[in-house]
């Protein structure tokens, strides 16, 4: 993937979800109290890691110090 900011190649990688699903949450919302809950307006990036560890495919730009994690599907 090419960095949308500096146009250099980004490094492939992932962010592991070890105990709970990874989720993007809007600034004005609270973190859910339960593992299976979803924050209002939140976007899950992985499934809940029950019997199998989950990971969110991500790209890192060392030049801009930014990580981009595409949302592949809604969990």
CA 23 from chain center: how many Å?
A: 6
**Long-range contacts from 52-55, C-beta under 8 angstroms, 24+ separation:** 53/16, 53/17, 53/18, 54/16, 54/17, 54/21, 54/22, 55/14, 55/15, 55/16, 55/17
Whether 36 shows a pLDDT value over 90: the answer reads: no
Domain ranges of the chain: 11-68
pLDDT of residue 39: 84
Winning range, highest mean pLDDT, from 6-10, 42-46, 53-57: 6-10
- The residue with greater pLDDT, 44 or 72, is 44
Q: Which pLDDT tens digit goes with each residue over 23-32?
A: 899 999 988 8
How many residues can be counted in the chain? 75
């Amino acid at each position: 993937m090419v960095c949308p900011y500096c146009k250099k190649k980004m490094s492939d990688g992932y962010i592991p979800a070890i105990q709970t699903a990874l989720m993007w949450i809007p600034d004005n919302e609270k973190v859910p109290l339960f593992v299976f809950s979803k924050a209002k307006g939140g976007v899950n990036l992985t499934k809940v890691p029950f019997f199998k560890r989950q990971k969110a495919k991500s790209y890192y730009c060392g030049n801009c110090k930014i990580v981009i994690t595409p949302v592949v599907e809604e969990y």
